[in-house]
A and B are shown apart, each in its own frame.
Chain A
């Protein structure tokens, strides 16, 4: 079983749609969580950190449920420019640094 699991998709949605991505992690010692975005043939870039209280950045909302070891990302009013691969990431606890474990990524295509 992979440490971080995501539905690989692909998700194909029209502009303006709301889309939700889910992710589970198996290491209960994980202490930090993130969503990264990766465009085709580009490097991953941090989209947002994820906190237990939930956090929002414009059209993007992230949630963390530690009891269920579950992370989500909600994108509202999708734009064509949101088309990318979304990577769910867990940072290990019990280490002296923020070792990151990445999920396989969820592919999103937003069409006109």
Chain B
């Protein structure tokens, strides 16, 4: 069974530039998560989708971050404009449902903002 795919794996941009990350969850998984993980910290949930609807985006900085999950499958996370403090690993995960379900994580995208 294929795992969660993410691209790119690495990205370096300058502050105020835009960047987008892509995630392809495990086939059939209804729930998709985007996390931000700053070095030395645990992952912080940015947004959670159930199919193509948003379940929780309370920690998403909506003035600069946006995410969508068209057709309830793939998802993109965008940052516009980027700030230095956005340097982190962005992890995508998927699970069959929501409550108490195991989450399967992708390898992440390491973003460096200069």
Do A and B assemble together?
A: no
